[in-house]
Each structure stands twice: as C-alpha cells, then as structure tokens.
Amino acid sequence: MAGAGADRRASGQPAGAVLALDGHGWRALAEGEKLALLSGFLIGEALEHAMARAPGGEPPPPEALEALRREGQLRFPYAPAVYKARLEDFYFYQDRLAVPLYRALFQINEQLRRGSPPR
C-alpha cells in the first residue's frame, strides 16, 4: 500500500493534485488509500463546518464535531465505506472517469440525502 503512494510522489505529482483526482486516479489507488482519502475528506469537511461555528476561529474540540454528527448537521454524514462503495459504482462507467472526485462525492452525497438510487 505505501509503495503506491510513494510511486506517485516520486513521479513528481504535487500534493495539491488531490483536487484534480478523477476516476482514473481513483481506480489507481489501493483499497486502504481510498478509505484514507475519504476519511481525510470527511474529517476536513466536518472540521471546516465546526470552525465556521466556533468563536474566534479557534479549532473546535472533538466534542463539537461529535455534536454536529449527533445533530445531523454534517454535510457528508455517512461513513467512508459508504462513499467508497458509491464511488466504485460511479466510476464503473467509462464516461464518468473524467469527473473530478470532489464533484462525484457531492453528486453521490445528494443522491444519498434524497434517498435516490445511484445513477
């Protein structure tokens, strides 16, 4: 697993390239890397949401993040494994491989929130 990430870094791909990650890049990731990427995305989004509500821009305590989850206030409320399964379905189709990962996640999240089946 660690070898695949090291290969990408060694190839000169900048760290910010994660925003340019699409279905081709998603398919190249190992299973553990996919879950790690999604976990980081979900934690980052929750932290951003909590910081927007925190006075003075101070990092919120873990309890604030947990409160957001309990109150149903997280924009991306599902577990990384749920998003991973949906992304695997989404990127199964060749015509979707060029869709950036973040766009696919927003589309999938909307489908989950509306209770719509994957398209």
Give dist(CA 61, CA 42) in Å, integer. Answer: 16
- Does 4 reside within a domain? no
Top-confidence range, 9-13, 73-77, 115-119: 73-77
Check residue 20 and give its pLDDT.
Answer: 86
Band of pLDDT at residue 117, cut at 50, 70 and 90? low
Give dist(CA 13, CA 35) in Å, integer. Answer: 20
Residue 101, pLDDT above cutoff 50:
yes
At 115, list the tokens.
Answer: 């209770």
Q: Which residues span the domain enclosing 92?
A: 19-114
Which region among 10-24, 66-80, 101-115 has the lowest average model confidence (pLDDT)?
10-24
Check residue 22 and give its pLDDT.
Answer: 96
- Does 9 reside within a domain? no
Q: Count CA atoms closer than 13 A to 73's CA, side-chain side.
A: 14
20 backbone dihedrals φ, ψ, rounded to 5°: -90, 0
Check residue 13 and give its pLDDT.
Answer: 53
SS3 14: coil
- Does 105 reside within a domain? yes
- Does 119 reside within a domain? no
